Structure 1
């Protein structure tokens, strides 16, 4: 049975005029200019998030009180999550405090930009553009390597990557794997995990929403009824995506703290 016959039976237009599924091009939305120096929607959204975060932090803490207001309590709750649960528990009470500003900034920036993916009228997760996760990963990458070289020295840092007590016979196998892990695998997976989850989640939301809209407006009576299921899945996926967006911000921050703690550890 030809595609044209299927389209006719379903009540959809034929010959390429039917539903067009979302593509990766949806994530590149230039507003001014084109090419690598274009001002894109993602760039505007992340600047908006920085301004919003700055305003919220100032507005909720400039009149801090012993008995906090609801807004101050929420800000302190997020800060304490990063300070105590992430930084202190992972890095340790001796060294954690100096890394709290970096970890808190990363967590809040990633969280807000992730949640923008399900909050109208933005509805665009900035971290679905690979450049932003890479930039944040480079900050973590440079930080933990700098700390490691400073703590152990050039040769000592490389030695600290290999667990003590290994038989010399397996060192030729373990050493390249450890070097690959520290210098390639860690940053690669840190960036791709955040990017992949935000990209895939937003693509699914686009598919359910645009598919439901198309069936409702252009489909037969049967497809108009089916479109309710598509919109229902979009709603369920939106709730699920909000949870994933929070978890990905937390996981990125947890891993950053873990790498910093590893660089500062006396033994590996």
Structure 2
């Protein structure tokens, strides 16, 4: 971005902590990122309502698109990892996670919104905790007496070695998993936003403020910005898919026969 001093200043982390738009100083304070999240949630609800309110045996294009999205989660994530029975049990939460992450990520490349709803730690952390609680619930439901025992004391290990193995298993299973889920999603969206803002603000700077032939650099920064937008679109989908996939993997590990 540029300022009145005529120099170019790149994007900073302060963009992720915007000022209040309304209700400042109250528990219901609304800033730009919270507004983006509300818009994404409303768009997601509206899309599924329009796509499922008049279901037909022979679906039209819009219904087919919705069904393709649902089948992606059901077939490639839920049933592929958990089987038909457990896949059906956990399909609602896996579907919710996938589409929520997808739509909140998409706001990062939509003109006028320009920031992902997952680019601040709150939403990634909540989703990671939902995944974490679902994983623990699935394990306790499957084996109430042995879930934690089998998680912390894997079979076939000599008893003295548990002094080393058990702390490692505890940290990797019950601490690192939610942390990595949170940070993977958060940092991908933060970096993507910073890169896009950098390229497009540089394009604006070179085109309207730079003197003489320096304006030609705006062509290069715009091309890079467009290319990174396409790459970010791929990252947006992959992050939603990976988050739902890892949630299913953790559930699968919790309901495995040894538990």
TM-score between the two structures when normalised by the length of structure 2: 0.92
More deviation in 239-248 or 109-118? 109-118
Q: Specify the SS of the correspondent of 1:31.
A: strand
Q: 1:159 aligns with which of 142, 149, 156?
A: 149
2:230 is matched with 239
Runs of 4+ in 1 over 3 A off after TM superposition: 33-37
Q: Write the distance in 2 (CA, Å) between the matches of 1:13 and 1:92.
A: 57
Q: 1:122 aligns with which of 105, 113, 125?
A: 113
Q: Write the distance in 2 (CA, Å) between the matches of 1:66 and 1:134.
A: 39
1:25 is matched with 14
Instruction: Note the residue ranges of structure 1 that are not aligned, 5 or more in a row.
Output: 1-11
Q: Against the structure 1 CA distance between its residues 13 and 45, is the aligned structure 2 distance closer, same or farther, given a 3 Å change threshold?
A: closer
Q: 1:251 aligns with which of 242, 245, 250?
A: 242
Q: What is the Cα deviation at residue 164 of structure 1?
A: 2.3
Q: What is the Cα deviation at residue 193 of structure 1?
A: 0.2
Q: Write the distance in 1 (CA, Å) between the matches of 2:169 and 2:46.
A: 43
2:199 is matched with 208
Q: Write the distance in 1 (CA, Å) between the matches of 2:137 and 2:51.
A: 34
1:178 is matched with 169
More deviation in 52-61 or 243-252? 52-61
TM-score between the two structures when normalised by the length of structure 1: 0.89
Q: What is the Cα deviation at residue 222 of structure 1?
A: 2.6
Q: Write the distance in 1 (CA, Å) between the matches of 2:76 and 2:32.
A: 34
Asked whether 1:131 is paired with 2:144, we answer: no
Q: 1:193 aligns with which of 174, 179, 184?
A: 184
CA RMSD of aligned residues (A): 2.0
